[in-house]
Amino acid sequence: MVASMRRTLAPALTLVACAVGCGGPRPALRTEIEPCGLPARKALLACLEAPPEALYDPWSLAGARAPGLSVHVFGQNTARCGWAERRYVSYVPRSLGARTVAPVLLVLHGQGGSAEAMMTFQTRGTFNRLADEKGFVVVYGNGLPTSFNIAGLPNSGRWRSEYTVDAATVDEVAYLRQIVEDLTARAVIAGGNDVYLVGQSNGGGMVLSAARQRPDAYAGVAAFMPFVGFSPVPPPNLAGSRLRRALFAYSMADPALPPSYGDQVLAPLAREWARALGVSERDTEAPTETAVDDVVKEGAARDIDDDVVRATRDSTVKRLDLRSTNGALRQLVFDHAGHFWPTRDYAGPAPLLSEFGLRNQDIEGAAEVWRFFRE
């Protein structure tokens, strides 16, 4: 499945990479380190088992510059590959002043993706537009290069979470902590802001892992189509912790995850999180269900003769809510949506659809996340 995924993603996301480009001068950056030379980067790629042709250029911002949008780089020591340049892309609405107390959303891409790909291709800029409207800071994290490289995509990376075989290579939980410290040091935020974790696929597993390990650092977590291995560790008792909101979004027939993964792995894990948030055993088995209007007939206008596309046409979604005095857990359960972030007005390129299916378009994922975190 992994090999075919790379073959399919390579030509399709190369188009995305070419569209956003990497030309132009480097943006003004404030950082503690200087850029590594080419030999050092090649050695790092080899140690991380990424192909030598991987486009690892942490300092470059892919795509058009925009007010409030910038890339930042700091150094991190890895367990066996030495010093690495870690990057993140931030979007700070112009309405927010220095040392803002506004919330921060840390958004993580899936396997082989990048910060910019998550911002533009997966979420279609919806978090940035919502940040302008609601007044919060958005940060798109970036995993380090990997053997799961997408050819032609700048800074294609992977999260080495506890659910991956190379988890001991990089301390990703420390990387997320360092982002918040860097935002504070650069006077973007005041410090002590509410910080929320959001991730998709491999990034979804990463945010669940980070929230479980540091529940006092985050106010909420949202995992979309997450991969969490096959025996994920349940969270500790979260009573009294800062983390009071957890959202799971998954498809019961996700073409990119193992068969029955939603039913056998993700649904039981969501119930474990509900128990950790203080939901009673009786209530855990009887969530409040709300149907979502089927406003888009996904795939109706796409004449693609493909089994995966057919299997993910016209998906629907329902909300399952559980609450306690300690917090709330919501599940967004799709009956047969593809392995994409849900957005209202978008359909992916045909090569991607044949591997990952059609994304659900009945909901806007960013709006769902923000509303749940702040309601």
- Confidence label for 166 from pLDDT (cuts 50, 70 and 90): confident
Q: Which residues contact 264 (CB under 8 A, 6 or more apart)?
A: none
What's the CA gap between 259 and 315, in Å, rounded? 17
338 three-class SS? coil
Strand partners, 82: 78
Can you tell me which residue has the tokens 């053997």?
Answer: 147
Distant-in-sequence, close-in-space partners of 91: CB < 8 Å, separation ≥ 6: 68, 69, 119, 127, 128, 131, 137, 138, 139, 140
Mean pLDDT across the chain? 90
- The CATH-assigned architecture of domain 2-374 is 3-Layer(aba) Sandwich (3.40)
Q: Give the per-residue pLDDT at 303.
A: 80
DSSP assignment letter at 166: T
Round to whole Å and give the CA distance between 304 and 327: 43
Coil/strand/helix, residue 231: coil
Lowest mean pLDDT among 13-27, 65-79, 209-223, 302-316: 13-27
Helix axes 172-185, 202-213, angle to 10 degrees: 80
pLDDT for 304 equals: 85
Q: Which of 105-109, 136-140, 225-229, 345-349 has the lowest mean pLDDT?
A: 345-349
Q: With CA atoms as reference, report the closest residue to 198 among 50, 369, 38.
A: 369
pTM (two decimals): 0.91
